[in-house]
Each structure stands twice: as C-alpha cells, then as structure tokens.
Structure 1
C-alpha cells in the first residue's frame, strides 16, 4: 500500500467521522430529516464544506490505486466523477430546505451544489459496481444496490416532504446517509484491503530458478 493510498483512506475515514460529529453536535438540523449537504448552512457550515472537499480529494488520490487493476480504466473514471462531485458539493453551498431557521432561496450556487451531489452518488454507485470484484471477495454488488436504492428513497422522501404544507418530517436524511456511508465505506475498503498489484493488476510471473 502506497503513502498516497493510505492518505486517501485516511481522508475518507476523517470525512465520515466529521459528518457523524456534526450530526451529533448540530442542534439546528436533524440527521434524520436533513441531508448531509445542509450541514454546510449556518455559522459552522465551513466545517462541512471542508469535509466534503477533503473527501473529494481523497477519492482523487485513490484513483491511481484503482487504475492499476485489470478492470480497465472505468474504476478510475468513476472515481474521478465521485471526487469531482464531492469537490463541487463542498465548494458551493446548498440552498436551505423548508422548515429550518435558514431563509429559503433558489440560488446559482445551490443549483451547482445539486449537480455535485448528483455526480457524487452516481459515481459512488458506479465505482462500487465496476470494482465489485477487485477485493477478491463479495460485497461490491450489494453496496451498489444499497447506494442506488437509498439515494432514490432519499430523493423521493425529500420531494414528498418539501411539497407538503407544512413540510412532512420524513427520513430523507437518514436514507441519504445510508447511501453515502455505504458508498464511501466501500472506497475505504478498497483503499485499505485491496492488494497492490505488481504489474497492471496481475501478479508478476515468477522467474524460473536456474538449474545448478
């Protein structure tokens, strides 16, 4: 395992820990109802902006490790989509949801953030799918299904909650966190448990021992 791969895994683990810490300490938002992105709102929002950006940089660092395997270029490409989405989501603050202490508005940076969020979850699903055989153990397919199902559920629940009058208290945030933690957790597993290939993702052939 290279130093870059260790750093990638450490950044991703730190990002997950930072989100859990914010969920525990922020009293203005609910981890059950509100998305991870909403932690970027308010006076402490820069912490979450930095968290998402650092996670994106961690995924970019992981690309070099994934590109050495026989699965071709797609693991690295989808990791780039995931990392790019996280960086965009971190740099551009989301718009506030209904029924919070923050003013509702439709802004350009909120729309860019939504693009980053969509790229993030698309990338997490696709990366888990194309790397499902890399650790040489089952799990990637299940992670891909969890990411897709939980993200769709989060989107539907958020749509129902936001269109209600008053907005309903539905667990959209919990569903999104399940998708996010499953997808990023799979990347952490790839960083720390996938063996480093010797040549192009395959073990180097052993050299014959010359006869004496």
Structure 2
C-alpha cells in the first residue's frame, strides 16, 4: 500500500487495481460537490420569494410547510441523498489516512439525517406560511419533534466532521485547509448555539453556519476529486 499526495488530498493507492475505481469515485465525489450549492440555492431562493418568510425569524426548515412546501421537502431529500453518495466517495479516497474513517461516517450520518428532516416536516408558526398566527405553537406535533431530532443529529455530525477534517489536513501538511475546516465547524457551532439559545436572528445565524459547513464539505470533495484521473 502506497500513497500519493500531488499537492491536494492524500489518496491511498494499491497499484493499478485502484485505477478502475477512479471514475466511479469521481462521480460519488461530484455528488458531494453538488449537495451544498443545491441546498443553498433552492433554500435561499425560496427564503427571498415566499410570502411571509423572514430569515431572521424562520428557519429554512419551515419552508417545507405550506402549499409550496414540497419544494423544500424535495430539497432536503435530494441534498441528503447526494451527501450520502458523497460520503461513500470520501471514504474511498480517505481510506488509511488520519480521519479517513470518521469524517466519511459523520458526513454519511449528516446526509441520512438531512433526508430524514425532509420526511418529518416542521409545524407552521410565527406567521409562516402567510396567514399563520404570529408566535410559536404551544405543542409540537410528532413529526415536528422528529424533525428537530433529525436536524440536531445532522448538525452535530456535520460540525464534528469539519473538525475531523481539520485533523486530517493538519496531518497531511495542509495548514490552510486544516484552518478552513476548523473555522467552518466553529462558525456552524456558534451559529447553531446562538439559535438554540434564542438569540436575536438565530435562524439567520443557523442558516449561515449550516451553509458555510456544507459548502466547505463541497470544497473538500472537489479538492479530492481533482486528484483522481
């Protein structure tokens, strides 16, 4: 077993036998590259166009409610599926490297729980969808509770994955990528923590943190994909 490190990710290679897997691995990594832009663009496009939605008060998950909620539900499901596929690609290229076991596993959990968050939809509330009374509902429905559970697991897994990738890149001698990984995880952790504490505009800080971490995973996948030919 040897390893190549052509200025990008460290990729274990087991002679010529590794070559046939490269095209399939590139496809899997491309799924990871696509997941974050898809989720961010579809979510933000709705956030700025759907009547009654206020990103400083409403989490992006609430876009799954109302007559057009199917768009965000599909966004969760497809983004989750792409993330799961991307995790398989990351597992292939990171095998045998520091963090090569846990980073893909955590990203896999994130993808599965993202899809689950699309299956279990939040309750309407605080003026959204348009016409819903202001303020929070008194009791969570069972599916809203499951959404919160799935979301919490997805967030924790993605934050942890960023810090594991920080260790991976530190050991690979790539301090810039290591710092960016840890910064992304920290931004997400702080944004999530602020939102959970009931801080002002917490849904906005949560969205910024989540998208920052997701985009960073896409950058990492693109970087590792560039190594494969």
- Whether these two folds match at TM > 0.5 is yes
Correspondence 1:26-65 to 2 at 5 A: 26-65=50-89
Contact 1:65 1:196 in 2 (8 A): no
For residues 128-152 of structure 1, give each alpha carbon's deviation from its aligned partner in whole angstroms, at most 9, with x where no partner exists.
Answer: 1111244832301111111111100
Question: Which residue pairs with 1:7 in the alignment?
Answer: 31
Distance 1:84 1:196, change over 3 A: same
Alpha-carbon distance between aligned partners in 2 of 1:74 and 1:7, rounded to the nearest angstrom? 19
User: 8-17 vs 42-51, which deviates more?
Assistant: 8-17
Alpha-carbon distance between aligned partners in 1 of 2:36 and 2:143, rounded to the nearest angstrom? 24
Q: Does the alignment pair 1:96 with 2:89?
A: no
Question: Which residue pairs with 2:223 in the alignment?
Answer: 193
The CA deviation at 1:99 is: 4.3
The CA deviation at 1:88 is: 0.9
Contact 1:56 1:82 in 2 (8 A): yes
Q: How many residues align?
A: 187
Question: Which residue pairs with 1:115 in the alignment?
Answer: 149
Alpha-carbon distance between aligned partners in 2 of 1:88 and 1:15, rounded to the nearest angstrom? 15
More helix by share: 2
Root mean square deviation, CA, Å? 2.0
Q: 1:128 aligns with which of 162, 173, 186?
A: 162
Alpha-carbon distance between aligned partners in 1 of 2:33 and 2:100, rounded to the nearest angstrom? 21
Q: Does the alignment pair 1:172 with 2:202?
A: yes
Question: Which residue pairs with 1:156 in the alignment?
Answer: 197
Query: Partner of 1:2: helix, strand, or coil?
Result: helix
Alpha-carbon distance between aligned partners in 2 of 1:121 and 1:146, rounded to the nearest angstrom? 12
Question: Which residue pairs with 2:12 in the alignment?
Answer: none
The CA deviation at 1:97 is: 3.1
Give structure 2 stretches of 5+ with no counterpart: 1-24
Regions of 4+ moved over 6 Å: none
Give structure 1 stretches of 5+ with no counterpart: 159-169, 199-212
User: 8-17 vs 118-127, which deviates more?
Assistant: 8-17
Contact 1:84 1:119 in 2 (8 A): no
